[in-house]
Structure 1
Amino acid sequence: MKIVHWNISKKSHPMYALRKYEDALFSHIKELRQEWDIGRIWRSDGKILGSTVFSWFFYKSNNADIVHATSQTV
């Protein structure tokens, strides 16, 4: 099974509540089954491509069976 996890956070964001939640959720999903192919999509670090609304245009499913997004992403 292929799963894609969409994050509202950027890799460069500090570890505040939302980033901690997304990291913990991703780690827990990975622990469920080792045979699952789990990927993660982060927002770009750039000012324009990394803006929240603009970044949504670049989120893709990558042919995943399941796509998970946090409520801020949806």
Structure 2
Amino acid sequence: MESGDLRGHHVGAPTPSIQIKLREWEDGGYSPYDKPSPRGEILIAGSPVTRGYYKNPTATAEAFITDSDGIRWFCTGAS
């Protein structure tokens, strides 16, 4: 891939123990409800996902959210 190549690329399907969802990214103007291509910040959850940043509770608190179902999501910052 060349620098500046903005075409979409596939990384494959997540493993069965991983959940992925999109969250609205207001600063970028992205929404999971965009048609025809949903866009947003990528969130991941599941047992293989790290429990946090080593000896850095502040970074951990900033990078993780827990939803109303009790699922803990890592906010990747990627869109």
TM-score (norm 1): 0.24
Larger Rg: 2
TM-score (norm 2): 0.24
Higher helix share: 1
